[in-house]
Chain A
């Protein structure tokens, strides 16, 4: 286990940020804490990072407790905080070199700069970097100590799609070395893409915990098929429900929508069904159910109700 949390609670005046969390993160996995703003993700992570003391509860990181071995733990963690602004007047290389100097052991400065693909920006001031470049520099500062456990707090918030993908690639490359990542996000696609397991947080509580796939399967159909026909409205809904692989069916905006467990069985069955009745297909669309659907089904709210 890289991280074990038992009965964690933390209150601030007027708000309970973390309200009793139990959690285990295995060595080598990428674990995602998912939830809307204010759910308690950051507080949980900062307690694990030794930046905030819990009110009650037990946190064991890499087999150690913060109260007993703070310095040893800091040597072995890589941390990226939400909203840290690195000094704008330093260059990329100076910044990484500074962070490298804090660790007894770690990676070479040049190597880490290359790793985050900032080699062309080595001598550029931090103030002149784009949002994505700044975030990769923050990752470089987190990686330069060659950590066993990497904490990323909303690593791609506010980045454009290309910059997000670059960050994802970096996280995936780090994972290939068999080390552990804990990240928080309120992006569903990020959690689905990067995380082996996901904990969904809301109001300081962990309301679901599993692999993204299992969460989706348990809460929703795995796929949704939407189609329209010519002539329209010629099919009995009950017949659709009885089709192979279909969990549920409903009329949808002049066409039909099916909840489907296995797309590769349901779609051929649907096509055969229509062909057998001489009904023409005018539109067909499928999408996979997402963690967003899971969150909606758990809380009745969308993740980003801004």
Chain B
């Protein structure tokens, strides 16, 4: 593809005596020879020819999601293990009563065995028959499963003794996709990945080029400085599709993670996220001359977001006093938007607050980065 309008005008600088140098007429240049395209291609080549980078961006998040998804998968409602003390009178009747309930597994154990089983968590509860019409429970009530076991066992015991519940009840099972841990996790990993590749992808490449005096060499050419920076954004935005596609595709296909929101809104969220983190990477790389210095600075930027922004667990676990700080972090905003879009199918219109936070970070970091940026 060639385009006549791309043909550069001859140099118009008048100068004293021109040399008789033979200058071939400028050739027409195709789109591939435009500097922005060439610079963007460099970004791709440098990324794809670095196997480690490809691993961290594409393979690692999938492995992490797979591992955590398997470890924290929802199991069918577990049966609570309980023990009946064999030495107490009436132990056989008590055990028989408890066995009639399918949500309990019952073992009959001697004194020391029962104590050991309770201590090691093999059973959640030890039931001791204390004569006619009396049962005592041994349990550690700081363990949630012990409290569950006590409620279940006591209900069985009471009904076996003739209690009639005054209200008739019925359970309707609702197991909905979107409320499992993996559903929570995938959008968080997506946000974390966007942050990592944005901050690292741009920051590292810029600092490396500065350290190698390549930045200085580039600005000694007629290259437009804005195009150099734009090439990072352009490559990030295109790479983004593959990054998000890989991780989200994995989550949807393997774990059935729901993607309920509109795709266009998802694309927009990822775009804004990527630009925001890219601007943070640019800021982190604006002055530093060594890769070590940059890596420290960028980890410092990312650490609060790894911890507070609700990647692996909800950020609402942190104390109330910290919430304004946590909600102001860009990754928190991004993760909230991703979860709202994917899990709740929320419309963009409901996320203007988060969008505003991300955009504010984008503008702030970009402006400061341009002010501080050092080409040499």
Contact = CB atoms under 8 A, between A and B. Distances in A.
A94 interface: yes
B38 A98 contact: yes
Interface residues of B, number: 41
B24 A107 contact: yes
Scoring B9, B216, B219, B220 by chain A CB atoms within 10 A of each residue's CB, the highest score goes to: B220
Contacts of A121: none
B320 interface: no
Given A89-B50, A100-B33, A177-B22, A51 B13 contact: no
B27 interface: yes
B134 interface: no
B45 interface: yes
B175 interface: no
Given A97-B33, A104-B222, A85 B213 contact: yes
Contact of B15 (A62, A81, A83, A84): A62
A150 interface: no
B168 interface: no
B75 interface: no
A64 B15 CA distance: 9
A78 to B, nearest CB: 9
Interface stretch (A32-40, A67-75, A198-206, A289-297): A67-75
Contacts of A83: 213
A146 interface: yes
Interface string A237-275: 000000000000000000000000000000000000000
A178 B26 contact: no
Most buried by B among A27, A64, A101, A106: A101
Contacts of B39: 98, 101
Contacts of A148: 15, 19, 21
Contacts of A49: 220
A146 B16 CA distance: 18
A146 B23 contact: yes
A195 interface: no
B46 A89 contact: yes
A93 B223 CA distance: 18
A87 B214 contact: yes
27 contacts: A27-B16, A28-B19, A51-B220, A63-B16, A71-B222, A76-B11, A77-B220, A86-B214, A87-B209, A87-B212, A94-B45, A97-B33, A98-B35, A98-B39, A98-B41, A101-B35, A101-B38, A101-B39, A102-B218, A102-B222, A104-B8, A104-B11, A105-B8, A107-B24, A108-B27, A141-B217, A177-B21
6 closest residue pairs by CB, A with B: A104-B8, A85-B212, A178-B19, A101-B38, A74-B222, A101-B35
